[in-house]
Amino acid sequence: MSDPTRTRKLRLRAALAVAAVTGLGATALTALPAAAAGETVTVQYRQSATGSDQVEPWLKVVNTGTTSVPLSQVKVRYYFKADAGASYTYACSWAVKGCANLTGTFGTLANPTATADRYLEVGFTAGAGSLAPGADTGDMQLRFHRSNWQPLNQNDDYSFGPDRTTYANWSKVTATVGGVPVWGTAPAGNEPTPTPTDPTTPPPTGGAALFDDFDYTGHTDPAINAHGWSVRSNSGGPGVPGATWAPENVTFAKEGTNSIMNLRTSTAGTGESTRHTEILTRATKFKNGTYAARVRFSDAPLSGPDGDRVVQTFFTINDLKAPMADDYAEYDFEYLPNGGWGEPANILYTTSWETYRPDPWEAVNAHSEVRASYAGWHDLVVTVDDTAIVYYVDGQEFGRHDSRYIPERPMSINFNQWLIDLAGQTSTTPRAYDQKVDYVLHVKDQVLTPAQVAAKVSAYRSAGTKFEDSVPAAQ
């Protein structure tokens, strides 16, 4: 991996503002697909601020159906028009269900209109519980602002109701239950679609694929090289200056019936004592299709003081040929358990890169994020075709980025764990963080649902297949 490609990680997470303006008005969500029997909700809205500092949508979700609704299955979207060149930061001021049980993710609309090209999607963790028939969530006092705190304009935002000063049903905010639209009117051409997770649909047969369940004895196992992997040992970025990329910290062990790869990153508060870890494919031959991995993120060190600005990743990437080169590509899952890049606490990013310039810094990307703990095992899936890049976490859509960010050249597949800097924890007491990986899968030129990914991995394991790579070299 080239050093300049990753040193731009000290970034501000600027997302490219959508420039296209197509269509006016909105189309009602008619003939909605049925959710589970009896499950339906409405969304009530009021605004709490009409100024230019930040947007403050206050929301309530009401169960108007006849059965209890698990809030973890509910997603609510608030649509707005991005200010030129702006990226946004979400926050929860107060919520009856608890801000820790709410998530906020920004997405980009596939069909921008004059009043909407972005949306804030609000979700719930399992800790939010369920809504009984007739019950509501109570206040969810939400807000978001430009990440640089520059003034914004709400007046051209689709979901903004300046005269809405008390709670009432508001059809310009949409809701889904289990991925099925049940409430509201989206901007024209942008109706939420059911999440494609039908477990009864088998994965397509055939198709070139890479599968590895990381059944190795250690970082020097000859099979690692034979299977096309490189365990990084050279110096350079990203991360702490003077740190070493330590191949001996990439280890393998059995957990139950599966072989697990572990990436350990350690430090004693100095560059010289810091050890980063990375494993990547030597070949850059992966482009469109489905990428998946089961990854265990961690929030705390094995021992010693917590607080280091750790980055735990699964991503694909190619090299930047020149500043702002339009054939660069990168698609990231990045978990920051202790914050960083201006974030104070844990956050999970998915980012699709078109290009960037390292100096002076300029980025062209789209990103989605959720500010919550993701400690534990998670199923990560990203699909890439000629229309969109779609990210899933644990079977649920996490972010969707449009065709402006699709790759022009093939990429490598990578996992790494590293420290942004040493400012998060200045102690010289040794500590170490682990990121674990169960398997990796790529299916060339096929878009699989998360359920189809799970079925394909299960089929490999049932057949006793530890490794397969039928993906041809890039032409």
Joined tokens for residue 182 = 């049940």
Same domain? For 267 and 408 the reply is yes
% the chain with pLDDT above 90: 71
Query: With 50 as the cut, is the pLDDT of residue 32 above it?
Result: no
Query: With 50 as the cut, is the pLDDT of residue 33 above it?
Result: no
pLDDT in tens, 290-336: 999 999 999 999 989 999 999 999 999 999 999 999 999 999 999 99
Q: What's the CA dihedral at 369, 172, 111, 82 to 10 degrees?
A: -50
Q: How many domains does the chain have?
A: 2
Report d(CA 133, CA 39) in Å as an integer: 9
Query: With 50 as the cut, is the pLDDT of residue 232 above it?
Result: yes
Residue 134's domain comprises 41-183
Same domain? For 375 and 239 the reply is yes
pLDDT confidence tier of residue 101, bands split at 50, 70 and 90: confident
Same domain? For 269 and 168 the reply is no
pLDDT for residue 190: 82
Same domain? For 383 and 431 the reply is yes
Same domain? For 175 and 306 the reply is no
Joined tokens for residue 223 = 């099979």
Report d(CA 260, CA 97) in Å as an integer: 36
Residue 319 lies inside a defined structural domain of this protein:
yes
Same domain? For 389 and 260 the reply is yes
User: Residues 89, 82: contact at Cβ < 8 Å?
Assistant: no
Same domain? For 216 and 316 the reply is yes
pLDDT for residue 189: 79
Beta strands in 191-299 (DSSP E): 209-212, 229-231, 244-245, 250-255, 258-267, 275-281, 289-297
pLDDT for residue 39: 61
- How many beta carbons lie within 10 A of that of residue 31, not counting itself? 5
Report d(CA 198, CA 344) in Å as an integer: 37
pLDDT for residue 3: 35
Same domain? For 420 and 295 the reply is yes
> How far from 449 is each of 4, 139, 394, 395, 456, CA to CA, in Å?
34, 34, 11, 8, 11
Same domain? For 291 and 389 the reply is yes
pLDDT in tens, 329-368: 999 999 999 999 989 999 999 999 999 999 999 999 999 9
Q: What is the CATH number of the domain that holds 342?
A: 2.60.120.200
The residue whose two tokens read 């039908």 is 198
% the chain with pLDDT above 70: 89
Same domain? For 216 and 175 the reply is no
Same domain? For 222 and 177 the reply is no
Query: With 90 as the cut, is the pLDDT of residue 250 above it?
Result: yes
Report the pLDDT averaged over residues 87-103: 88
Q: Rounded to two decimals, what is the model's pTM?
A: 0.65
pLDDT in tens, 402-442: 899 999 999 999 999 999 999 999 999 999 999 999 999 99
167 versus 128: the higher-pLDDT residue is 167
Nearest 5°: the CA angle 410, 369, 95 is 165
